[in-house]
Amino acid sequence: MKFLIKFKIIILKLIKLNITFLKREISGYPKIVQNFEINFSKYIGKKYGISFCNGTSSIEAAIYALNFLPSDQILVTASNFHASIGPIKNLNCTPVFVDIDEKSLTIDCEDLKKKISDKTKGILIVHPWGYPCNMDEILKIANENDLKLIEDCSHAHGALYDNKKIGSFGDISCFSLQGGKSIAAGEGGISLTNNKEYLLRMSIYGHFDRHKNELKNVDNLKKYQKTGISKKLRAHPLGISLANVDFDNLNILNNYKEKIYRRIDEIIINYKNINTMEINNKAKRGGYFSGYPLIFKDISKISKIEEKFKKFKINLVKNPWFLTHHLEIYNNSKCELPITEKINDQFFLIRIPYFFNFNFKNLENCLIECKNDDLIN
């Protein structure tokens, strides 16, 4: 009996010890988070990585790290998700909206050059739906005008430009790890950089207990050594555990989904008044394959086209994003974005099932019937 009692006590102590250990491992900054930051940084081609609770926080930390001043202007497109733009406003900078290219739907480099003023200090580019921007031209513009470059790569995990990973080009690059992304932590984000001071500045923006020994040696940052700026925006270790699973399989996932997209490319090319996003000849899309982009040149019959897609059980959705420059909070942004406005009405997504059982035959039959009914040509 005494033996059994002692045995139970030992077991209870071990359980208590394991629970205590587990609590430590699912909070703070455990090895699983450190390793993810190191491995993902290496994969993209950056020296340093720091994780956040979501992609928006990673962008906000990047803007903070680059030390923009109030009223500094940052150039950005209005057609992307508002979370790419809100952090600019939150940190008292001014977003200046740039139009998009009509074929690629990425930032229009000619309009980008026109929008530069003496107040312009940075460019925030988005690689929409996993389609890379024209990095040659963007880097040239940024370098010639001494502008900081932030890459929002939330849709572009594993995408390439000139055989280099998207996210390797900017002064800071930011990735979302939200549930719909190819690397998903449920909620999460990560910022990457080659600049140690940028890393330290991001760490005080939401990671008050990190890099404190290094901060004490940096004159303009040592005052933040103990408290940061009193925000806690770090990623949750349980979420990062989920992200690790996707990260380990990212190349397999991207390659498999690319085959689906190529097959849809082959179907769509047969129709004159339907386009998809044009890919730069140096680029390879990747990272976001939950929706195949369609651009209908003629939307006068779009309601009937939508009915056809529904009939063939193909999930066609209108552009899920609204134009940010139309929001009241940005009503002082007097800008002309003719292509952005035009494409917003023409842009749709074919939702791709997460388990990839997409029915190509249904899509073919749907488009044939649309053509026979004179809805498309």
CATH 3.40.640.10 residue spans of the chain: 12-248
| Strand (E) or helix (H) holding 113 | helix 109-114
State whether residue 299 is helix, strand or coil. coil
Give the 3-state secondary structure of residue 98.
strand
CB-count exposure of residue 357 (10 Å: 0-12, 13-18, 19+): exposed
For the entire predicted model, the pTM comes to: 0.90
Amino acid (1-letter code) at residue 189: G
Q: Are 222 and 215 in contact (CB under 8 A)?
A: yes
For residue 34, with 0-12 CB atoms within 10 Å meaning exposed, 13-18 middle and 19 or more buried, which class applies?
middle
Is 323 strand, coil or helix?
coil
Strand partners, 283: 161
Distance in angstroms (rounded) separating the CA atoms of residues 316 and 292: 9
Q: Are 356 and 256 in contact (CB under 8 A)?
A: yes
Token pair of 31 as six digits: 């090895």
Q: Report, as ranges of residue numbers, the positions in the chain whose pLDDT lies below 50.
A: 2-3, 6-10, 12-22
Predicted local confidence at residue 330, as pLDDT: 76
Q: Whose structure tokens read 């680059």?
A: 66
Q: Which of 146, 145, 148, 197 is nearest to 169 (CA)?
A: 148
Residues in the chain: 377
What phi and psi, each to the nearest 5 degrees, are found at residue 95?
-75, 130
For residue 358, CA distances in Å to 16, 259, 269, 343, 353 come to 48, 11, 18, 26, 7
Q: Answer for the pair 197, 45: CB distance below 8 angstroms, yes or no.
A: no
Q: At 305, phi and psi to the nearest 5?
A: -65, -40
All CATH 3.90.1150.10 domain ranges in the chain, comma separated:
250-372
pLDDT of residue 81: 84
Rounded CA Rg of the chain? 23
Report angle CA 101, 370, 285 to the nearest 5 degrees.
35
Rounded distance between C-alpha atoms, residue 317 and residue 347, angstroms = 9
Asked whether 323 and 331 are in contact (CB, 8 A), the reply is no
Strand partners of residue 100? 107
pLDDT in tens, 58-98: 999 999 999 999 889 999 999 888 888 999 999 999 999 99
Domain 250-372 fold is Aspartate Aminotransferase, domain 1 (3.90.1150)
CB-based contact 325:78 (threshold 8 Å): yes
Assess contact for 349 and 291: CB atoms under 8 A: yes
DSSP states along 227-282: TTTS-B-PPPHHHHHHHHHHHHTHHHHHHHHHHHHHHHHHHHTT-TTEE-PPPPTT
Contact 349, 319 (CB under 8 A): yes
| Dihedral of alpha carbons 369, 300, 101, 251, sign | negative
Q: Which residues does residue 148 pair with via DSSP β-bridges, in sequence order?
A: 122
Tell me which residue has tokens 């930390």. 61
pLDDT at 25: 60
Single-letter residue type at 2? K
pLDDT at residue 355, rounded to an integer: 61
The CATH code that applies to domain 12-248 is 3.40.640.10
